Amino acid sequence: MEKSKRFEVLRRSMVKEQIEARGVRDKLVLSAFKVLPRHLFVPEDLQDSAYDDAPLPIGGGQTISQPYIVALMSEALDVSSGDKVLEVGTGSGYQAGILAAMGCKVYSIEKDPVLSKKAEKALASCGLGEEVKFFVGDGTLGLPEFAPYDAIIVTAGAPSVPPALKEQLRPEEGVLVIPVGTMGSQELLKIVREGDLYRQISLGGVRFVPLTGERGW
C-alpha cells in the first residue's frame, strides 16, 4: 500500500477508534480530523507513529498532544465556522490546523520562533496557511490587538488562569479551554464568560508541558 493511502487508513481508524469511540460528536471536529494529515506535523522519523493514541515529541521540549485530547479541547470550544479563535502555544501547528479546517479564523501565538516557523510551513503544505495568522511572543498575555475572541485555547499547562485571556473573550458566551495545575499534572478547564462573570467546568485530568511566560511558569 502506498504511503499516502496507508496514512489515510490510519487517520480514519484514529477518528473512529480514538475519538468517536470516546464520545466526541461535533461534526466539524470529526470532519477536520478526517482530512488533516497529522503525520505532516511531526518529525519525519516519527511519521509512522503519527496516528497512535499518544503524544509525540516535536523538538524544543514540546509535544504534539494525543489526538483525543486535541479533539476533546476542540469540541469544548463550541465554535462555528467563521468564529475567531486565539491559540496560545502553536507547537506543531496541528491544533491550529484542526481549527482552521473547522472554518475558524485562527490567531496562534508561540514563544519559540523555530517551532512557529515549522508550524507555518506544515500548515502551508496542507493548504491552510492563509487561514492561520502566526505570532511570536508571550501567549500568557494573549493578543489584545485582535480581541475579543469567540474562543481561546491554551495548549500548555498553566499554574493559574491568566487574567488577560479571560478579559480577551467576547462577553457573551466566549469560551476559554485551558489546563491548570502543577507542572506535572493539570485539570482541563472550560471557562465560559457571561458578562463580568465566568462559569467554570472541569473536563478531567490531563498532562501538558508547562506554559511559560509572565503569567505562566
Write out the three cell numbers for 19.
475519538
Nearest to 180 by CA among 88, 80, 100, 105: 88
* Phi and psi torsions of 173, nearest 5°: 65, 30
Does the annotation count 81 as an active-site position?
no
Residue with cell 496507508: 6
**What residues pair up with 157 in beta bridges, in sequence order?**
210
Give the SS3 label for residue 193. strand
| Strand pairing report for 186-194 and 197-206 | antiparallel
Give the SS3 label for residue 59. strand
Separation of alpha carbons 26 and 106, rounded Å: 19
Separation of alpha carbons 208 and 6, rounded Å: 29
Write out the three cell numbers for 98.
484542526
Contact yes or no for 192/175 (Cβ under 8 A): yes
Which of 4, 13, 49, 65 is catalytic? The answer is: 65
Separation of alpha carbons 74 and 102, rounded Å: 9
Catalytic residues: 65
